[in-house]
């Protein structure tokens, strides 16, 4: 179910971000269009105000022609400056920079409009300026913010509904798989226990043979698969029995289980182990060690050596080989080599156990070997 939730979250994230991005691009063009329209409207209003002022003050124009005018009447809410032949004559402000080749421009949240008088009056320019009216722009921004709030709610709702619809078949498949694993592990438990019990009884009667050893090895392999599947399915519900144990002794005991596999592949173990004590649930540590040993032996080529080191609270295993995709190797059901069998759960279970107890786990390629390492919290 966690995989389903991850898929749903990813779908929601991609859908929401992409939809909002497209909407944002559209809103940006809309805002720029409306913004420029409002600025153009204010420029037109500024131009009309100046022309109306000039129409009402025709006598002033005659004085401007002969440079007899020393002061221009004030225009309400406007700054005005008069230039003749490019030289400043008078006004109630004097801008530091004028764009003579432009009719209007904006600078520091102010609009500037440059009006050139008819040629018969000489080269006379009148520059007027007023602050940008931000009320309409602010109202436009508020409208976009409100629209975005409703859009976000709508997009999240639609994305969630689509996600539920699209993931419903996946949810059904996952549930069917989990039901199968639960039923399979339940059915496997009894015959495996019977086989192992009868093997022990035959051993007690001093019946030893290669065939019996192979049966025992196969039964224990089935038992390991059963326990791995049960761990994946039921671990979060199982009560932990935390206790202190010697990792060296436990490791030596678990190695004997893999003797048949070691003999079949003619693999030699090189051990350098010290006493290391750790507090954890014994079954969890057994599962961790078994999976480490199983992976090291299973993925090592025949006629090679597997190196095991346990000291200073760190367990290391080296086997010949190379991992192609380190980032995926601990994922559930991921297998790099389909020829070796298994469900691809070993390293996933190791990582889960380490995460639960706060152990540090790493796996990497090193000098032609695959190195797996677990750093325990020792007590």
Contact 104, 111 (CB under 8 A): yes
Query: Do the two domains 2-136 and 240-375 of this chain adopt the same fold?
Result: no
**CA–CA distances in Å: residue 119 to residues 54, 59, 61, 99:** 15, 17, 12, 20
- The span from the CA of 154 to the CA of 15, in Å, is 12
Task: Give, in degrees to the nearest 5, the angle at Cα 356 between 355 and 360.
Answer: 35
- The span from the CA of 246 to the CA of 241, in Å, is 15
Q: What is the dihedral of CA 204, 208, 210, 214, to 10 degrees?
A: 0
- The span from the CA of 213 to the CA of 196, in Å, is 11
Q: DSSP labels for 105-136?
A: EEETTEEEEEEEPPGGG-SEEEEEEEE--HHH
CB count in 10 Å sphere of residue 373: 17
CATH of domain 2-136: 3.30.450
Both tokens of 123, joined, read 């080269």
Correct CATH for 240-375 of 3.50.30.10, 3.30.565.10, 3.30.230.70, 3.40.630.30: 3.30.565.10
CB count in 10 Å sphere of residue 148: 14
Q: What is the pLDDT of residues 355-374, one digit of tens each?
A: 888 899 998 888 888 899 99
Contacts of 127 (CB under 8 A, 6+ apart): 80, 81, 82, 83, 91, 95, 98, 112, 113, 114, 115
Q: Where would I find the H helices in the chain? A: 2-56, 58-65, 134-204, 210-234, 247-255, 259-265, 282-298, 346-357
Both tokens of 129, joined, read 């300026």
The arithmetic mean of pLDDT across residues 33-51, rounded, is: 85
* Beta-bridge mates of residue 273: 310
The three-class DSSP label of residue 92 is: coil
Maximum separation of any 2 CA atoms in the chain, in Å: 134
pTM above 0.85, yes or no: no
**The pLDDT value given to residue 328:** 78
- The span from the CA of 184 to the CA of 222, in Å, is 12
The arithmetic mean of pLDDT across residues 53-76, rounded, is: 61
Q: What is the pLDDT of residues 294-325, one digit of tens each?
A: 888 888 888 999 999 999 889 999 998 888 87
* Beta-bridge mates of residue 79: 129
**The pLDDT value given to residue 163:** 74
Contacts of 232 (CB under 8 A, 6+ apart): 181, 332, 345, 348, 349
- The span from the CA of 288 to the CA of 317, in Å, is 13
- Give residue limits of the domains in the chain: 2-136, 240-375
Both tokens of 66, joined, read 């002969």
**The pLDDT value given to residue 61:** 56
**The pLDDT value given to residue 76:** 66
From 223, 218, 374, 355, select the one nearest 296 (Cα to Cα): 374
The position carrying tokens 């070691």 is: 262
Q: What is the pLDDT of residues 8-35, one digit of tens each?
A: 777 778 888 888 888 888 888 888 888 8
Contact 257, 286 (CB under 8 A): no
Q: What is the pLDDT of residues 151-210, one digit of tens each?
A: 888 888 888 787 777 777 767 776 776 677 667 666 666 677 777 777 777 777 777 677
Q: What is the pLDDT of residues 228-251, one digit of tens each?
A: 777 766 655 567 778 899 999 999
């Amino acid at each position: 179910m966690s995989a389903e939730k991850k898929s749903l979250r990813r779908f929601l994230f991609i859908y929401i971000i992409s939809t909002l991005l497209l909407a944002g691009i559209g809103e940006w063009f809309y805002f720029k269009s409306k913004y420029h329209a409002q600025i153009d409207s204010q420029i037109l209003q500024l131009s009309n105000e100046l022309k109306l002022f000039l129409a009402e003050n025709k006598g002033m124009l005659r004085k401007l022609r002969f440079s007899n005018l020393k002061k221009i009447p004030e225009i309400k809410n406007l700054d005005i400056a008069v230039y003749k032949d490019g030289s400043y004559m008078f006004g109630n402000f004097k801008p530091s920079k004028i764009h003579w080749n432009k009719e209007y421009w904006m600078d520091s949240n102010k609009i500037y409009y440059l009006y050139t008088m008819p040629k018969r009056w000489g080269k006379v320019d009148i520059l007027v300026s007023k602050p940008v009216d931000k009320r309409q722009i602010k109202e436009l921004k508020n409208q976009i913010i409100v629209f975005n709030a409703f859009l976000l709610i709508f997009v999240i709702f639609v994305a969630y509904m689509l996600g539920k619809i699209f993931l419903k078949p996946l949810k059904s498949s996952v549930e069917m798989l989990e039901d199968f694993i639960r039923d399979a592990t339940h059915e496997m438990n009894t015959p495996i226990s019977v086989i192992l019990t009868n093997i022990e009884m035959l051993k007690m009667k001093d019946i030893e043979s290669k065939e019996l050893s192979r049966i025992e090895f196969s039964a224990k392999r089935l038992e390991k698969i059963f326990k791995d599947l049960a761990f994946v399915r039921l671990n979060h519900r199982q009560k932990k029995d935390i206790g202190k144990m010697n990792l060296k002794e436990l490791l030596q005991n678990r190695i004997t289980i893999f003797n048949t596999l070691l003999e079949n592949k003619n693999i030699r173990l090189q051990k350098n182990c010290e006493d290391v004590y750790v507090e954890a649930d014994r079954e969890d540590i057994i599962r961790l060690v078994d999976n480490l040993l199983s992976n090291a032996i299973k993925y090592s080529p025949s006629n090679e050596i597997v190196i095991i080191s346990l000291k200073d609270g760190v367990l290391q295993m080296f086997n010949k080989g190379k991992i192609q995709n380190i980032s995926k190797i601990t994922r559930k059901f991921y297998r790099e080599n389909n020829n070796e069998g298994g469900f691809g759960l070993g390293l996933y279970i190791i990582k889960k156990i380490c995460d639960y107890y706060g152990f540090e786990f790493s796996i990497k390629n090193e000098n032609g070997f695959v190195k797996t390492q677990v750093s325990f919290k020792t007590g």
